[in-house]
Amino acid sequence: MEYLRQHFGQALSGEKSFLKINEPMADHTTFGIGGPARWYAAPSREEELRELLLICGQEGIPAYILGNGSDLLVSDEGCDGLVISMKENWGYGRIQGCRLTAGAGLLLSKAASMAQKAGLAGLEFASGIPGTVGGAAVMNAGAYGSEMKDVIMSLKVMDRQGQVRTLNRAEIGFGYRTSCVEPMGYIVLEAEFELKEGDPEEIRARMDLLAARRREKQPLEFPSAGSTFKRPEGYFAGKLIDEAGFRGYRIGDAQVSEKHCGFVINRGNATAAQVMELCRQIRQRVLEKDGVELEMEVRRWGRF
């Protein structure tokens, strides 16, 4: 432990960088669930990120890349590795013409707000998604008929050996809630968005309308990880779950939302084990009833 603490600490030399030991992941996920990460680091420069990845590779330590933790469930035991957080020091954004360049840690809500103030349209759909630019790019996040693939022109990424490259839209390989980023082991450093000129007031009105729709239909008053299951082809997960009798069903403090059955919420002190047991029962009953195998959209770290 001391050996690795020393090496991780030496890798982090920036003024804004930091290293923590046994950091509770419940504090870093929108679900508010999760045991401790053995190590937690927030690099501030590419060189620091590269050094952390190289140490992990040499020592056989799993490296987990964290954004806002908005689509993540961490085991009650935590995760035995290094969590590398991009949110603290990679939340920058700059605009030139119709292009927005955003660091991986920039919240989508802030990116959308920057675009709106600059009179750039295209990111309205993302204004209510509680993730970061990096996380949204990895999973091709979307809402209200639009997705990241519609607005991202390129990604700057680093591989696990510390090499940096830029991927164009075709190379990113966007699909439904997926891209090439995770399968290839890339870490998103930066995204370049291609937007369109628009009227700031009209853009703000569109953002406000979508925000009202989101508040009306989604259980934003409770912690969650967003949509729990991917949309099965030809179906809606929430409808299948509702028709299977799970509206409001709970195990401990893990509950299927009464407002939207596509969300599993934390009513206060839910555990990861309770969430997973609830999801297991949902998947089993929907498969038996409708012959549809639901696939979890929420990512999981640690042992379950």
Tell me the catalytic residues.
177, 227, 297
For strands 99-103 and 187-194, give the pairing.
antiparallel
Phi (first) and psi of residue 288, to 5 degrees = -65, -40
CB 284 within 8 A of CB 298: no
CB 148 within 8 A of CB 125: no
Pull the structure tokens for residue 138: 């990895």
Burial class from Cβ neighbours inside 10 Å (0-12, 13-18, 19+) for residue 131 reads buried
CB 116 within 8 A of CB 200: yes
Rounded CA gap, 163 and 149, in Å?
Answer: 24
DSSP string, 3-43: HHHHHHHHH--STT-EEEEEEEGGGGSTT----EEEEEEE-
Q: In the Cβ-directed half-sphere of 75, how many Cα atoms lie within 13 Å? A: 11
**Hey, is 134 helix, strand or coil?**
helix
- The pairs formed by 241-249 with CB atoms below 8 angstroms and a separation of 24 or more are 241/282, 241/286, 241/294, 243/289, 243/290, 244/282, 244/285, 244/286, 244/289, 244/290, 245/285, 246/281, 246/282, 246/285, 249/278
Rounded CA gap, 184 and 224, in Å?
Answer: 28
